[in-house]
Amino acid sequence: MTTCSIRLRRDSATTGSFEWALLDAGGTVREAGLSSLGPPPFAGPCRLVIASELVLLDRVAASAAQQRGLSSALRFLAEDSAIPEPEQLHVVAAPAPAGDALCLAVIDRQWLERTLGNLARAGLVAVSACPECLLPELQPRAWTVVWNGDDSFARTGPIEGFALDSAGPGEPPVTLRLALENARGAAATPARIVVRAAPGIAPPDHARWSAQLGVAVIAGQEWRWAQAQARPGVELLQGEFAPRALERGWTRGLRRPVILAGMLVLLATFGIATDWAVKAGERRALLREMEAVYRASFGENAVVVDPALQMSRALASLRQQAGQAVAGDFLVLLGSVADRLLDPQRQQIDSIAFANGTLTVSLRPQDPAQPGALLEELRAKAAIRGLDIRLEQAASAGKPSLLLFAAPVQAR
């Protein structure tokens, strides 16, 4: 999985320029460069690294009970450490390792709001943000100094660090001197300081620094911000800046299939609706044609309710008037029933009746003990095209019998 990291400086909010890096699952940088927001070289979720000069890290004493109720007053706790008004600050907190204090990270609220807005408009979704000064690894009883010109900083603890001021040639920064003096007063002086120089930046004179600071200063590995593996314990995107539209990995993976499935459903629905509309139009056209044929045959003043049924009945009536047999005639019905259902070797006919286009035949099995078998046999053969066949059990002269009713389907 490829992740994107962006390093932001103070001028990023106005110029839109930033450093970026694409890393693979193992943390190896695949691509890197300097770009701007118009347009960026990529789009999607990204992690932000905020230059140390933009984030002030501080520690305030607070018991565990006090820490639980201070979330709404964090900006006022940082008031003594920051110059702007509390309303202009965005402050997040993390418990200090000792447990009796809070570590605060303070950043300009307007700068952060403007930067996140610019990123969002460019298609970049910030999912996390951390101070750069908390990225370098800490060795036991050691401080780490990243030497990067105006962007130099020091990390002195798990959630402690600060930006370094510019010093004269060969001189250690004043802020580093003051931090060491405070550490000596608190009996927390580091055993050594590890200096990591950024690419293209000449490292300081380690021996001179050691002599002036009174602490061993040694050279460390070259500093590359994008390759920092450790994630600091301070997350700047909290509260009002927390990612609200952040999707889980499986949801993001399902977005495209869901969109495609929705489009297929929409297309299928549109196709079915179109086919239904075409067939409905064809049906209306056929009914109009049938009505026209009926009126042409029986006069313009003929009342048309069901053209197909009326035409069928009219045709049957004309055939009867012409002496032709139709489906509802006695002989036609009897012939159809006799050919398919009547068998003198298995059945005995008691009576035959015909009324209102319905033929009624009373039957008895030759074997009086098998009326049920005869009923099942006739039902299995009763599917005759164009006829409606019904079978009922009855009794004739005290003996079980069957009534067979046959009528044309159109006569119902």
Q: Structural domain boundaries of the chain?
A: 1-131+230-246, 137-222, 251-321, 330-411
CATH number for region 330-411: 3.30.1360
pLDDT digits (tens, 9 = 90+) for 36-64: 766 666 777 889 999 999 999 888 776 55
147 Cβ contact partners less than 8 Å away, ≥ 6 residues apart:
195, 196, 197, 198, 201, 203, 204, 223
Contact in structure between 296 and 289 (CB atoms under 8 Å)? no
Rounded distance, CA 217 to CA 364, Å? 120
Rg (CA), the chain: 47
DSSP assignment, residue 83? S
| 137-222: CATH topology | Nucleotidyltransferase; domain 5 (3.30.420)
Terminal-residue alpha carbon distance, the chain: 72
Rounded distance, CA 38 to CA 118, Å? 10
Give 266-270 contacts, CB < 8 A, sequence gap 24+: none
Q: Residue 382's pLDDT is what?
A: 77
For 44, 367, 381, 383, the CA distances from 391, given in Å and listed in that order, are 74, 18, 11, 12
Q: Residue 247's pLDDT is what?
A: 47
| b (16+ CB within 10 A) / e for 252-289 | eeeeeeeeeeeeeeeeeeeeeeeeeeeeeeeeeeeeee
Q: Residue 412's pLDDT is what?
A: 41
Q: Which region, left, alpha or beta, applies to residue 324 given φ > 0 means left and ψ of -120 to 50 means alpha?
A: beta
CATH among 3.60.110.10, 3.30.420.380, 1.10.10.60, 3.20.20.100 for 1-131+230-246: 3.30.420.380
Q: Are 1-131+230-246 and 330-411 the same fold in CATH?
A: no
Rounded distance, CA 410 to CA 317, Å? 13
Regions in the chain scoring below 70 on pLDDT: 1, 37-41, 62-86, 98-100, 230, 244-254, 319-320, 323-328, 369, 396-398, 410-412
312 Cβ contact partners less than 8 Å away, ≥ 6 residues apart:
410
List the strands of the sheet with 399-408, edge to edge. 347-355, 358-365, 399-408, 387-396
The H or E element containing residue 265 is helix 249-298
Rounded distance, CA 290 to CA 287, Å? 5
Is this prediction's pTM over 0.95?
no
Q: Residue 411's pLDDT is what?
A: 44
| b (16+ CB within 10 A) / e for 17-30 | ebbbbbbeeeeeee
Q: Residue 156's pLDDT is what?
A: 93
